[in-house]
């Protein structure tokens, strides 16, 4: 058993891709792409996790039942974009989205999982 320190994989560069995406070049050589919608849907904050659980519960309860179509607000019809990314220490980013949401803390591990 060795006592070598674990190599931390960190972002080396971040660039915008179009209006609603970005790409991160990681220190291990991997380059991953992200959409604003994908990041917004993957937000790990408590509010978003609770909303996701409620949606899943509603889906389960409505299986086999006739449902009406959802009504979307004007804000929900606008494409989501990333307004800013702020580093939090050496482990995460806080991302602000165009829908006003800005409380999610996206750890490097989570960003690696959400990338394609």
pLDDT tens digits along 34-81: 999 999 999 999 999 998 888 888 777 777 676 667 776 666 667 899
The answer to whether residue 54 is domain-embedded is yes
pTM above 0.75, yes or no: yes
Count of structural domains within the chain: 1
Range of the domain at 85: 11-61+80-114
DSSP string, the chain: ---PPPPPP-EEEEEEETTTEEEEEETTS-EEEEEHHHHHHT--SHHHHHHHHHHHHHHHHTTTS--PPPPPPHHHHSPP-EEEEEEETTTEEEEEETTS----EEEHHHHHHH--
pLDDT tens digits along 78-107: 789 999 999 999 999 999 999 999 999 999
CATH number at residue 43: 3.30.2020.30
Bridge partners (DSSP) of residue 94 are: 86, 105
């Amino acid at each position: 058993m060795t006592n070598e320190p674990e190599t931390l994989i960190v972002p080396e560069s971040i660039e915008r891709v179009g209006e609603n995406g970005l790409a991160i070049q990681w220190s291990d050589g991997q380059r991953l792409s992200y959409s604003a919608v994908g990041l917004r849907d993957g937000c790990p904050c408590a509010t978003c996790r609770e909303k996701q659980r409620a949606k899943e519960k509603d889906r389960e309860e409505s299986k086999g039942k006739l449902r009406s179509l959802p009504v979307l607000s004007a804000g929900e019809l606008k494409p989501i974009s990333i307004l800013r990314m702020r580093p939090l220490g050496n482990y995460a980013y806080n991302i602000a989205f165009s829908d006003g949401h800005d409380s999610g803390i996206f750890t490097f591990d989570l960003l690696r999982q959400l990338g394609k």
